Structure 1
Amino acid sequence: MFRSDASKLSLILLMTPFVLWIGLLIVLPQLGIGYISLREKVGPREYELGLANYIDFINEPIYWNTLLRTAWMSILVTALALLVGFPVAYYIAKIAQQRSRAALFLLCLIPLWVSDLVRAFGWIVLLRETGVVSGMLQTAGLISGPVELLYNDVTVVIGLVYTVVLFMIVPLFSTLDGMDNSLLEAGYNLGGSRVTVFRRIVVPYAMPGIVAGCIITFMLTAGSYLTPILLGGKNSSWFTEQIYDQFITRYNWESGATFGVLLLGFTSFVVWLGLRLTGQSLANTVAKE
């Protein structure tokens, strides 16, 4: 009896901080944002519940075009992060020597030692008109004068891939590290080529890690603010900028809350669609990790 009570108490003590964190910092704020998005201003400090804010969003093409553009570029960044991260994760998990894996994995963690703001300004130092890359190109004689490499979609995509690629590598490494090397040996012994073994054995085994990494990187990219704004400049058209503009610049909390709910709903729909297309579920992807 005493052990049973002690186990229950331990479970309660362990779960209480998690439940409080989920409830106070995620569930309650989301409920509050959802409630604010349903408020229609009918007079000074007078509100009624309705869907007017959502109707205004649909009737304004620039808003939903920005949302679709953000989703498309987030998918592109996720795909590029997968192309970059998969070989790195496979090399660390299956090719590198056991004693060097920890060092290689630590190198991947180094970018997280600095904030997104510092990393974004690092790209600015490299790519601005008087930056390192422009200077090297001039020194090599490839260009005749300074060239501005910032404030375009390519720069934004590069910066975002650099920011989120680690979150693709971690679940991929975790999944691939658990794959028995005998599976690869069996594939080669049965006459399979490298491409065949990769397609028929490695990819299906790594699918939970692939899906988990894609979910994480997609959500982080769609919700990113600093990198698209700093690297995209005036040409940036990111949905989080629209949310910031409604909340901070226009003091229109109803529209800002509406945009936030729509961003969460739309990205959740994309994740759900990706899970359905790949035949995976949260239980064997993110939850497994």
Structure 2
Amino acid sequence: MNRDAGRLSLILLFAPFALWIGLLIVLPQIGIGYVSLREKVGINEYEYGFSNYMAFFGEPIYRNTLLRTAWMSILVTALALVMGFPVAYYIAKMARRQSRAALFLMCLIPLWVSDLVRAYGWIVLLRETGVISTTLVDLGIISQPVEMLYNDITVIIGLVYTVILFMIVPLVSTLQGMDDALLEAGYNLGGSRWTVFRRIIVPYAMPGIVSGCIITFMLAAGSYLTPILLGGKNSSWFTEQIYNQFITRYNWEYGATFGVLLLVFTSFVVWAGLKLTGQSLATTVAKD
């Protein structure tokens, strides 16, 4: 009877999670995949096949936009890692125990507001009549206001600011488990700071690095508001193509195809990253 009660408790515990995964992730993805295989040939008449996918690969602008999104997302991930690793290391190993919670809370502050508010905050700073341009004119550094929006650099800045927290959190969690005796042993054996960093810290932190890179890459590639608002018409982000197909052109078949391709392509990039680093999902995002 105790075994049955424990089994029932386990089922009730995981039921909300299973429903959430099934109803909000699995079923919608199946539906999107189904719609992507349809080709409208008449009023409420459809044929099924891979013509939508062939049309995608036959159009260079769609392919180039997907590759551009992937490349810029990888760049955003790399910058988030370079900027987030020192912050995470300081919080985990150098800051006093009493101040770690406060420092971690400061990293969470950007999440207190929505992506829309954060994007408009950057617009206020970087537009032609914004804070930075006006200040530079007042200081005499530049002679006239400069428009800093609507370019790739602005998009990258906005995305790094948005996703860097998701790089810091797994790094802090991983680095906190590293015994300081490992670092002391490395220095006692004659290792320099660079050697200790390369031979001890990085290998130990690799699960956190990979999990942070996976999360930030997927968030950057799937972002919509930040590239559109900060990049304008020049953003050329793949999620904008998906939005245009679904909402502007009302072509659900193409929109679903683009959505499936984005999922498949980003999953492939994550798989390639895991292979190159010798990691697995079990030792990164699913690590105990």
Global fold match (TM > 0.5): yes
- Find the aligned partners of 2:114 and 2:55 in 1 and give their Cα distance: 36
**1:155, distance to aligned residue in structure 2 (A):** 0.2
- Find the aligned partners of 1:265 and 1:37 in 2 and give their Cα distance: 13
SS at match of 1:40: strand
- Find the aligned partners of 1:64 and 1:243 in 2 and give their Cα distance: 13
- Find the aligned partners of 1:110 and 1:185 in 2 and give their Cα distance: 34
Map 1:157-172 → 2, pairs under 5 A: 157-172=156-171
Cross-structure match for 2:224: 225
- Find the aligned partners of 1:88 and 1:10 in 2 and give their Cα distance: 41
- Find the aligned partners of 2:180 and 2:8 in 1 and give their Cα distance: 42
The question of 1:240 aligning with 2:230 is answered no
Map 1:206-221 → 2, pairs under 5 A: 206-221=205-220
**1:3, distance to aligned residue in structure 2 (A):** 2.2
The question of 1:111 aligning with 2:110 is answered yes
**1:175, distance to aligned residue in structure 2 (A):** 0.2
Structure 2 unaligned regions, length at least 5: none
Cross-structure match for 2:173: 174
- Find the aligned partners of 2:207 and 2:5 in 1 and give their Cα distance: 36
- Find the aligned partners of 1:14 and 1:49 in 2 and give their Cα distance: 40
**1:152, distance to aligned residue in structure 2 (A):** 0.3
**1:20, distance to aligned residue in structure 2 (A):** 0.3
Map 1:240-259 → 2, pairs under 5 A: 240-259=239-258
- Find the aligned partners of 1:155 and 1:58 in 2 and give their Cα distance: 29
- Find the aligned partners of 1:204 and 1:150 in 2 and give their Cα distance: 39
SS at match of 2:102: helix
- Find the aligned partners of 2:135 and 2:75 in 1 and give their Cα distance: 29
Cross-structure match for 1:142: 141
Cross-structure match for 2:275: 276
TM normalised by structure 1 equals 0.99
- Find the aligned partners of 1:41 and 1:3 in 2 and give their Cα distance: 56
Map 1:3-18 → 2, pairs under 5 A: 3-18=2-17
Cross-structure match for 2:85: 86
Cross-structure match for 1:130: 129
The code of the aligned residue for 1:271 comes to V
The code of the aligned residue for 2:225 comes to L
**1:107, distance to aligned residue in structure 2 (A):** 0.2
- Find the aligned partners of 1:6 and 1:140 in 2 and give their Cα distance: 72
- Residue deviations 1:161-212, cap 9 Å, x none? 0000000000000000000000000000000000000000000000000000
- Residue deviations 1:120-176, cap 9 Å, x none? 000000000000000111111110011100000000000000000000000000000
The code of the aligned residue for 2:171 comes to L
Cross-structure match for 2:95: 96
The question of 1:45 aligning with 2:11 is answered no
The question of 1:287 aligning with 2:286 is answered yes
- Give 4+ residue runs of structure 1 displaced > 3 Å after superposition: none
- Find the aligned partners of 1:5 and 1:46 in 2 and give their Cα distance: 51
The code of the aligned residue for 1:246 comes to Q
Alignment identity in percent?
Answer: 81
SS at match of 2:47: strand
The code of the aligned residue for 1:107 comes to M
RMSD between aligned residues: 0.6
The question of 1:196 aligning with 2:190 is answered no
- Residue deviations 1:240-287, cap 9 Å, x none? 000000000000000000000000000000000000000000000001
